[in-house]
Structure formats: structure tokens, C-alpha cells
Amino acid sequence: MSVAMVLKRGSQYLWVLLLMAFFVTPLIWMVSTSFKSAGQIYTANGPFFPTHWTLQNYHVAFATGLGRMFLNSTIVAVSTTVVSLLFAVLSSYAVSRIMFRGRRMILVSMILSQLIPLSVLIVPIYQIMAQLNLLDQFPSLVIAYLTFSIPVAVWFLRSFFLSVPAEIEEAARVDGCSLFQAFIRVVIPLIVPGLAATGIYVFVTVWQELMFAITFLTTPGKYTLPAGVILFIGQHGTNFGAVMAAATVMSIPPSILFLLMQKRLISGFASAGGIK
């Protein structure tokens, strides 16, 4: 290796190091705090790492139902992802491939729907859920989450549909496929990376949603993770150790999943960004 090469390598790692320092330092602090006792957390200018490692915060977090909440969040996030993709893939195909009047209006209104503050919508949506007898049940969340997952998913998926040349579809139709058959057999397989990327996007947004979760769910056994974090904020004090333990549990496992799916995801997001 030449000196120039070594220098180049070195500077590359230096940049990575700087970037990592910004993102990782708070995370290490979080994990380290999660292993400190309350006495250690409340030590003025205490050491970065615990002097005595304790699992107390994890005990508290799991005794409060963190495991159950993890499961609840997974159920809600997976269901929302499936339902949104199902709805969005069809609509997105329609707004990408079929000429009809009002198409632009639909695309724009999808963006506009994202501008409305939740506080305006929440009481009317709550009343709808009450009428449907869905309060304090997961479907109320899944349905409410569609308000923000579908529009974004339609937009993301649209760029994938646009990247599939229409010739491929037309060729299939010349071979005797109906428009519908061509869609199922030819187009869908081509946008699988797009579905994966959009799906992960929806999953992640649902995973951290707070407002609907705390409004609709009232039985602690049904809480999702963000609603569960609230349990550690008491009227007279916040249990920071337990919050950090919960935060560690709710962010590390999904990231591992992310690591495993990364390659596919990144090629997926490339198209979602509008690259044709």
C-alpha cells in the first residue's frame, strides 16, 4: 500500500469515526445508564459507565410488561404494514399507470393529508372507533395508522411502478395476459424490493407512534412500547433507569433486523426516492 493510499484510508476512517461519535455516544450513554442503579444515575457528574452493573432496571421494565408490549407493538406494526401495503400497492399502481381525471389531485391530496396536525383529527377518529366498538383494541390503532401510512406508501411505491418499463407489461399482454394478470405476474415481482422498503418504513413509523396509542389503549396489557415508556414517568418522578432499559430493548432488536435486511432495503429506498 502506498503512503497516499494509507492516508486516504486513514481519512476515510476518521470521517466514519466522527460520524459515529455523534450517533453512537448518546446510544452508549443510554445503554450504560440502563445498567445503573437510581443512586448512580443521580450521582452528580458520575462516571460514564456504571461502577456497579445492575439488572434492576431491566427487572422493573419487564415486570411492568415490556415483553408483552414488545409483542403488542409487533402485532400492531406487522398488521398495519400488511394492510397499508395491500391498500397502497393497488392505489399506487392506479396513480402511476392508469390515466384518469383527478389523478394529480389524488397525489397532491395524499401529501396534504400529511399536513394536518393529529390533535385536530384525534377526537373525531376516537368517536368513530367508539362507534365501531374498537376502543382499547389493536384494530383501532391499525385503522388509525392507515391515515399516515397509506399516503406515504402510495408515494414510495409509485416511484417503483414508474421504474418498471411499460413495455414489459405490454409484452405480457400481447402474450394473452389480462391487465390484471400482467399486474400480478409481471409487475408485482419487479417491485418486491420496493414493497420491502416501504414495508419497513411503515413498520418503523408505527413502531414509535405515541399519540393514538395513549389515547385509544387503556388496558396496560395492551400497551405498545411507546405507550409503555410513559408508565415510567410518574407524577412525582421519572424512573430514568427503567426508561433507558426500555429504550434499549425497543431500539436494538429492530436494528439487528435492519442489519439483516439492509442490502435489499437500500436498493429499495433508492427507487422510493424518485430515481427511475
Shortest Cβ 191–another protein spacing (Å)? 14
User: Site for another protein (CB under 8 A): which residue of 49, 50, 54, 138?
Assistant: 138
- Looking at the Cβ atoms of 53 and 165, the one nearer to another protein is 165
| DSSP label at residue 208 | T
What is the Cα–Cα distance from 108 to 103, expressed in whole angstroms?
A: 9
User: Site for another protein (CB under 8 A): which residue of 121, 188, 190, 196?
Assistant: 121
| DSSP label at residue 187 | I
123 binds another protein (CB under 8 A): yes
Shortest Cβ 46–another protein spacing (Å)? 7
219 binds another protein (CB under 8 A): yes
User: Site for another protein (CB under 8 A): which residue of 1, 21, 124, 176?
Assistant: 124
**Does residue 66 contact residue 176 with C-beta atoms inside 8 Å?**
no
**Does residue 186 contact residue 169 with C-beta atoms inside 8 Å?**
yes
- Looking at the Cβ atoms of 3 and 256, the one nearer to another protein is 256
Shortest Cβ 3–another protein spacing (Å)? 19
52 binds another protein (CB under 8 A): no
What is the Cα–Cα distance from 54 to 35, expressed in whole angstroms?
A: 5
Shortest Cβ 203–another protein spacing (Å)? 9
Three cell numbers written together for 101: 381525471
What is the Cα–Cα distance from 198 to 271, expressed in whole angstroms?
A: 10
Work out whether the CA dihedral 241, 247, 248, 249 comes out positive or negative: positive
- Looking at the Cβ atoms of 17 and 53, the one nearer to another protein is 17
Encode burial over 48-69: b for 16+ CB neighbours within 10 A, e otherwise: eebeeebebbbebbbebbbeeb
**Does residue 60 contact residue 166 with C-beta atoms inside 8 Å?**
no
Q: Which amino acid is at 215?
A: T
- Looking at the Cβ atoms of 190 and 270, the one nearer to another protein is 270
User: Site for another protein (CB under 8 A): which residue of 125, 188, 190, 196?
Assistant: 125
Interface residues for another protein in 2-41 (CB under 8 A)?
9, 12-13, 15-16, 19-20, 22-27, 29-30, 33, 37-39, 41
**Does residue 97 contact residue 190 with C-beta atoms inside 8 Å?**
no
Q: Can you say whether residue 237 is alpha, beta or left, with left for phi > 0 and alpha for psi between -120 and 50 degrees?
A: left
Interface residues for another protein in 54-113 (CB under 8 A)?
60, 64, 75-76, 79, 82-83, 86-88, 90-91, 93-101, 103-104, 106-113
What is the Cα–Cα distance from 252 to 270, expressed in whole angstroms?
A: 24
48 binds another protein (CB under 8 A): yes
- Looking at the Cβ atoms of 3 and 259, the one nearer to another protein is 259
CA angle at 101 for the pair 179 and 181, rounded to the nearest 5°: 10
- Looking at the Cβ atoms of 53 and 274, the one nearer to another protein is 274
- Looking at the Cβ atoms of 20 and 53, the one nearer to another protein is 20
195 binds another protein (CB under 8 A): no
Shortest Cβ 195–another protein spacing (Å)? 15
